[in-house]
Amino acid sequence: MKITDLKCAVIGQHPVVRIVTDEGISGYGQAEFPKPYLKPHVLFYKPYVVGEDPTDVERVMLRIRRAGAFKPWGAAVSAIEMALWDIAGKAANLPVYKLLGGKVRDRVRVYNGGVRFDMADYSPQGYAENMAKMKAAPEGFSIIKQGIGFHSAMPTVVPDFTYAETRATSLYPNRGLLTERGLKHVIACVQAMKDVLGDEVGLALDCGPGWTVPDAIRFARAVEGLNLTWLEDLITGDYTPYVLAELYSEVTHSTTTPIHTGEQIYLRQNFKALFDKQAVRVVGPDPADVGGIAELKWVAEYADLHGILMAPHGIGDGLIGLAALVQVCATLPHNYIAFEYPTTRPEWWYDIVDWLPDPIVKNSMIDVWDRPGLGVGFNVTAARRRLSDDDLGFFD
Ligand SMILES: [Mg+2]
């Protein structure tokens, strides 16, 4: 089998990859929805993969893997990798999990990072009311993640939150020492959310990036009695092109609260310092940013050797990304906790992808499906209607 074409369409806001072969099998991959600008980046790799055998996934990846970087510049390589596995599975008439070594579990646990309700405000009561709605969501999530601190509007809407200058822009640019009031405000909001959840639902917090080491330690210690599932991205994180494992190590070894990072990290090599230094208790690579499905599995196995847990990121990965997460998470060792359930926008995405279960999530779990490849596919008739004029030939 040979790759004859690599295509990319922006469907909704998601860059979607289609790899075409000379045997009539196509494979699909998908990058996060806020990244429509990646289309030319995906197409950059086309001359490196055309003519190769897509079922030799690793051999193809060796041609392009080095030409990627931390989020968002690992997404194109990652989506191509997903599409290669989709083809390899279809060609073998097996689900991708079989090609990765087989299932460890029949159902995969997900956590809520994306089923959201508008916040009334960023007070403890606002957080509590919002958490009550998420607790009541039909997916029955057993872990809910909420944004606080620098991973929220707190720096700009809570008066005197930090001593640093703040900016109300996206990509989490704020960083600095918290005031005592700022720190107390965060702790009060966490306590209010915990009061709603009790011990029925785990509470994870997306915190940054942007905390200083002393604040991170003070905060992690202050919430120790609450048995939080994890504190994510205190130091570095989303859209940070470096890791700073030494700083994470200092925080982790100063508290019993589990510390988590990794969603923006590209490739296994960039997790090495975190593992060698036991710098975090949980890592959260995203298959659509880390370099793909097999890369994520490798990171999980290496984490397990080091006693580090695994909670893959995935909020923006869309429905093809959801399929990739289900396939790979079925195969991960017992350090697997849950993956972040992707929510998809616009809503019509659910009408253009076939073979998803309905409902997708039951009691915080997804049944692992057995169709070949990633096991989902486009309803081409419906999907064609969502193509922009630039992408009309995507399914041809
Ligand atoms: Mg995060």
Interval 323-327 mean pLDDT: 98
Cα–ligand 1 centroid distance for 195 (angstroms): 23
What's the pLDDT at 224? 98
Q: Is residue 220 scored above 90 in pLDDT?
A: yes
Nearest to 54 by CA among 103, 21, 6: 21
**CA–CA separation, 357 vs 252, rounded Å?**
39
382 Cα to the center of ligand 1, angstroms: 32
Per-residue confidence (pLDDT) for residue 269, from 0 to 100: 98
Domain that holds residue 68: 3-93+379-391
Instruction: Judge whether residue 144 has pLDDT over 80.
Output: yes
Same-domain status, 19 and 128: no
pLDDT at 385: 97
Contact 307, 333 (CB under 8 A): no
pLDDT digits 0-9 by tens, 276-318: 999 999 999 999 999 999 999 999 999 999 999 999 999 999 9
Model confidence band, residue 366 (pLDDT cutoffs 50, 70, 90): very high
pLDDT at 156: 92
Shared domain check, 75 and 7? yes
Residue 82's alpha-carbon distances to 28, 216, 220, 271, in angstroms, are: 7, 36, 36, 21
Give yes or no: residues 304 and 157 share one domain: yes
* Same domain membership, residue 302 and residue 169: yes
Find the 237 Cα to ligand 1 centroid distance in Å: 7
> Cα(315) to centroid of ligand 1, in Å?
9
Residue 169 has pLDDT above 80, yes or no: no
If you measure from the C-alpha of residue 106 to the centroid of ligand 1, how many angstroms do you get, rounded to a whole number? Answer: 26
CA distances from 386 to 114, 161, 330, 390 (A): 23, 43, 31, 11
Tell me: cis bond preceding 333? Omega within 30 of 0 counts. no
Answer whether residue 170 is part of any domain.
Answer: yes
Answer yes or no: do 210 and 73 share one domain. no
Closest-CA residue to 190 (of 175, 206, 179, 213): 206
In the chain, DSSP assigns E strands to 3-11, 14-21, 26-30, 107-111, 143-147, 202-206, 230-232, 259-261, 282-283, 309-310, 339-340, 353-354, 365-367, 377-378
Residue 326 has pLDDT above 80, yes or no: yes
pLDDT value of position 172: 85
Contact 182, 206 (CB under 8 A): no
Contacts of 115 (CB under 8 A, 6+ apart): 134, 137, 139, 141, 341, 343
Residue 251 pLDDT: 98
CA distance 31 to 72: 9
pTM of this structure: 0.98
Residue 18's beta-bridge partner residues?
A: 7, 28
CA of 233 to the centre of ligand 1 (A): 6
With 80 as the cut, is the pLDDT of residue 190 above it?
yes
User: For position 80, which CATH number holds?
Assistant: 3.30.390.10
CB-based burial of residue 93 (10 Å sphere; 0-12 exposed, 13-18 middle, 19+ buried)?
Answer: exposed
Same domain, 120 and 241: yes
Q: Same structural domain for residues 165 and 71? A: no
Average pLDDT, integer, range 185-208: 98
How remote is the C-alpha of 144 from its chain's centroid? 14
396 assigned to some structural domain: no
59 and 113 assigned to the same domain:
no
Whether 287 is in a domain gets the answer: yes
Q: What is the mean pLDDT of the chain?
A: 97
> Is residue 40 in a domain?
yes
Count the domains in the chain. 2
**Residue that wins the pLDDT comparison between 358 and 34:** 358
Instruction: Look at 8-17, 18-27, 164-173, 357-366 and tell me which has the smallest mean pLDDT.
Output: 164-173
pLDDT at 170 over 80: no
Is 385 a domain residue? yes
Same domain, 231 and 275: yes
Mean pLDDT of 268-278: 98
Q: 173 falls in which pLDDT band (50, 70, 90)?
A: confident
CATH number of the domain to which 273 belongs: 3.20.20.120
336 plus 281 within the same structural domain: yes
Q: How far is the CA of 88 from the centre of ligand 1 (A)?
A: 31
Which of the four pLDDT bands, split at 50, 70 and 90, describes residue 338? Answer: very high
* Residue 142 within any structural domain of the chain: yes
Residues 182 and 204 in one domain: yes
What is the model's pLDDT at position 86? Answer: 99
Task: Write down the pLDDT at residue 257.
Answer: 98
Q: Does 78 share its domain with 127?
A: no
* Res 38: pLDDT: 97
Q: Which residue has the higher pLDDT, 284 or 172?
A: 284
The reply to whether 299 falls in a domain is yes
User: From CA 259, how far away is CA 309, in angstroms rounded?
Assistant: 10
For 222-260, the pLDDT digits (tens) are: 999 999 999 999 999 999 999 999 999 999 999 999 999
